[in-house]
Amino acid sequence: MLDSQNLLLIEGSSHFVGGRQLEVSLPNGNTKLLESDVTVINTGTSPAKANIRGLDKVVAHDSTSIMELDKLPGHLIVIGGGYVGLEFGQMFRRFGSKVTVIQNDKQLLSREDEDIASTVLEIMKDEGIEVLLCAEPVEVSSFADMISLTLKSPEKETTLVGSHLLLATGRLPNTPDLNLEKSGVQVDNRGFIKVNSKLETTSEGVYAIGDVKGGPAFTHIAYDDFRVLRENLVNGGDTRNDEGDCRFQNRRDYWRCYSRGRGRRDYGCYPDCHDGWASI
């Protein structure tokens, strides 16, 4: 890649100082001013922190640090029943750990249709994963290398004890340090960059791709964002990012390319297709 023609790699941290002007802070302490006809923001996201008493006093893993363990958890407690939490929960269960997934909602995968969520719940339970719905973590502490988590549900308050804790409570965009207001780039109430169907922001010539623009945070969508930019900016096309997505939980999980909720929102109906993975 570094041998590619017209490619200059600059290591440093940057922020906007104007519409398409960036100031880059270099490792040697100097700064460099860059200006271009087209600027693409692809800064990604970082794990969100949960608001739980005592969390700063215990070892709480995220999706990065959990992969660096040198010992298999005896009992992994996963806070968050979204894509990341379920993937790691299922993975460690198959490795041999006891796994409990805690979701502060009435279903797993809160953004998915109810039939998908209920199917995934059955799969989790069939694999021996304990799933606690409508359970809010309120306090956590540690003792003798164990984690004690207090949960509040509509019926009662309970305590769960495990060996390791994984926080999978969503991700937040890496935008606070970009000084986006200087460029006229608008963000939503969570800090995700607003884009149109061609991935252009509210500032002309500035685009955003990948997780930082919000929406489904999947690798295949980030790859497709690049395709949209290439076709439009390099090849002069008129390509738009009409997103579909799918889930592969195991051999018999559903496959779906568009959800009913987004179908109603975007088209007034729900072009819905799902099937068992084994039949594809």
**Tens digit of each residue's pLDDT (9 = 90 or more) over 37-92:** 999 999 999 999 899 999 999 999 999 999 999 999 999 999 999 999 999 999 99
Write down how long the chain is. 280
Handedness of CA 211, 216, 220, 225 (dihedral sign): negative
Lowest-pLDDT choice from 24-33, 130-139, 213-222 = 213-222
Does 134 have pLDDT greater than 90? yes
* Structural domain includes residue 239: no
Question: Are 201 and 226 in the same domain?
Answer: yes
* Structural domain includes residue 268: yes
- Give the range of the structural domain holding residue 82, as residue numbers without chain letter: 47-171
* Structural domain includes residue 207: yes
**pLDDT (tens digit per residue) in 136-145:** 999 999 999 9
Question: Are 148 and 254 in the same domain?
Answer: no
Q: Write the DSSP symbol of residue 50.
A: P
Question: Are 76 and 30 in the same domain?
Answer: no
Q: Token digits for 201?
A: 């922001």
Question: Are 186 and 78 in the same domain?
Answer: no
* Structural domain includes residue 210: yes
* Domains held by the chain: number: 3
Q: Whole-prediction pTM value?
A: 0.83
Q: The CATH number of the domain where 54 resides is what?
A: 3.50.50.60
Residue type, 252: R
Q: Token digits for 156?
A: 């009662």
Question: Are 76 and 190 in the same domain?
Answer: no
Helix, strand, coil share of the chain (percent; to 5): 25, 30, 50
At 258, the pLDDT band (50, 70, 90 cuts) reads: very low
Percent of the chain residues topping a pLDDT of 70: 85
Give the span between the Cα atoms of 192 and 174, in whole angstroms.
Answer: 8
Q: Which residues contact 9 (CB under 8 A, 6 or more apart)?
A: 2
